[in-house]
Amino acid sequence: MEAKSVSKFVRVSSQKARLVAANIRGKHVEEARKILKFTPKKAAAVLNKILHSAIANAEQLGGVDVDTLYVKNIIINDGSSWKRIRPRAMGRAYRVLKRTSHITVIVDEA
């Protein structure tokens, strides 16, 4: 029985989040949480919270042994980008894109 957790409009670039997600995909849940704890990236803290939520969702299903859970899949898609401007020389303005992500974590029993 699989459980999932979704977080939308997370203020981290999807490209940077995918680098962290590749480290824990397919791993046992406890091992994945240890890896995320010692990964020095902003996306690691975000993924840790979403993974914790997916584990809690699995507990709510009933009949699921939490000790046998593993990270089945992590899907990270681009969210909308916040458009900002940066003042430049001679009255110009450059566009700055502050990117967001939609993150889905799916856990399943081994």
Q: Give the H or E element holding residue 97.
A: strand 93-98
CATH of the domain at 103: 3.90.470.10
Tens digit of each residue's pLDDT, the chain (110 residues): 889 999 999 999 999 999 999 999 999 999 999 999 999 999 999 999 999 999 999 999 888 888 899 999 999 999 999 999 999 999 999 999 999 999 999 999 98
What would the two tokens of residue 30 be? 């406890």
Domain that holds residue 91: 3-109
pTM, 2 dp: 0.88
- The CA-atom distances, in angstroms, between 4 and each of 46, 57, 94, 98, 99 are 15, 7, 39, 27, 23
Question: Residue 33 in contact with residue 51, Cβ under 8 Å?
Answer: yes
Q: How many structural domains compose the chain?
A: 1
